[in-house]
Amino acid sequence: MWKDFFYFSKREKQGILILIALVAGVCIGKFLFTPKISITGIPIDTTSVKKPEHSFPEENKHPCEKEKPGNNYVRSEQEEKRTYYQQPGKRAEPPQRTTYPPKEKFAEGTVIELNAGDTSQLMKIPGIGTSFARRISSYRKLLGGYYRLQQLQEVYGMYEELYDRIVPYLWVDTTLIRPLPVNAVSLDKLKSHPYFNFYQAKAIIEIRKKKGKIDSIDELAMLEEFSEEDIERIRRYLSFE
């Protein structure tokens, strides 16, 4: 019975032998021709590993990256992270500061006229820099001129110590004030003056429309929009011609 089960004809025996030979040939060929690649650092045959096209010359490699003769290892795909430290003894020098010549200042006892002095003259007063010189000049333009030194206290940012320091270098000529022509000035021009608000400017325009002309400051003093203090402040900045 068993002999009958394992019985093969002559042709079947030849086919089995051919199949065995093919399987053996495939196994041997795979063993001989498969390249040996190491991931753990075991030496391999470099003749079977293709070098990358963009490899760098040996002399340009970092000393730690050069391969030792006889010990060829496959590099990991992730580049090694390096930390660079400043060489001892070398410190970065701070940038040199540009020095400017000191600005010329007035000697003690020098006095200039406040309404005629330009910003360059104002900057020569000890304690006054570029910013305050421009603020004093800008406020003078809005007013039409200063009629007393105390008005400097109205300049933005002026503080008591600075005011006391600069006053000895200044005097005021009231003839240099440029007053506003009450009977011709526009509403916008009036309300842009530091001493007039919108309602006061509008009251002047309205009374001018009714009467045709305003003859004196006393007519404005009768309006409810102006207090005695307001009249005193604007008196020098209005012309009734």
Residue in this structure with the two tokens 């000697």, named with its chain if needed: 107
Q: Is residue 133 part of a domain?
A: yes
Q: Are residues 157 and 133 in the same domain?
A: yes
Quickly state the pLDDT bin for 31 (edges 50, 70, 90). confident
CA 125 to chain centre: 33
Separation between Cα atoms, residue 139 and residue 54, nearest integer Å: 72
Considering its fold, how many domains does the chain have in total?
A: 2
Say whether both 124 and 158 belong to one domain: yes
Tally of residues, the chain: 241
pTM assigned to the model: 0.58
pLDDT digits (tens, 9 = 90+) for 128-168: 999 999 999 999 999 999 999 999 999 999 999 999 999 99
Return the minimum-mean-pLDDT range out of 22-26, 46-50, 195-199, 222-226. 46-50
Is residue 100 in some structural domain? no
Average pLDDT over the chain reads: 79
pLDDT band at 68 (very low <50, low <70, confident <90, very high): very low
pLDDT > 70 in the chain, percent: 67
pLDDT score for 152: 97
Q: Token pair for residue 228?
A: 């005695």
Residues 169 and 214 in one domain: no
Predicted confidence band of residue 226 (pLDDT cuts 50, 70, 90): very high
125 and 169 co-located in one domain: yes
Within a domain: 52: no
Q: Looking at the structure, do residues 170 and 185 belong to the same domain, yes or no?
A: no
Nearest to 218 by CA among 238, 198, 201, 197: 238
Report yes or no on 23 lying in a domain.
no
- What pLDDT does residue 99 have? 57
Residue 153 counted as domain residue: yes
Of 176, 196, 225, the domain-final residue: 176
Instruction: Give 74's pLDDT tier (boundaries 50, 70, 90).
Output: very low
Which of 148, 176, 204 terminates a domain? The answer is: 176
pLDDT of residue 196: 97
User: What is the domain extent for residue 235?
Assistant: 180-239
Q: What is the pLDDT of residue 128?
A: 96
The CATH code of the domain that includes 163 is 1.10.150.320
218 occurs within a structural domain: yes
Whether 234 has a pLDDT exceeding 50, the answer reads yes
> What DSSP line would sit under the chain, residue for residue?
-HHHHT---HHHHHHHHHHHHHHHHHHHHHHHHSPP--SSS----GGGSPPPTTPPPGGGS-TTTSPPTT---PPPSSPPP----PPTT--PPPPPPPP-PPPP-PPTT--EETTT--HHHHTTSTT--HHHHHHHHHHHHHHTS-SSGGGGGGSTT--HHHHHHHGGGEE--GGG---EETTT--HHHHHTSTT--HHHHHHHHHHHHHHS----HHHHHTSTT--HHHHHHHGGGEE--
167-to-15, 92, 113 alpha-carbon distances in Å: 124, 48, 11
pLDDT (tens digit, 9 = 90+) per residue, 89-115? Answer: 555 565 566 555 567 899 999 999 999
CA–CA distance, 154 with 150 (Å, rounded to integer): 8
Which of 176, 199, 228 represents a domain boundary (last residue)? Answer: 176
Shared domain check, 172 and 133: yes
The verdict on residue 209 lying in a domain is yes
pLDDT at residue 15, as a whole number: 80
- Tokens matching residue 41: 């650092």
- Say if residue 235 is in the same domain as residue 213: yes
The DSSP-derived string for 211-228 is: HS----HHHHHTSTT--H
Q: Is residue 49 part of a domain?
A: no
Looking up residue 198, the CATH number of its domain turns out to be 1.10.150
Residue 43 predicted with pLDDT over 60: no
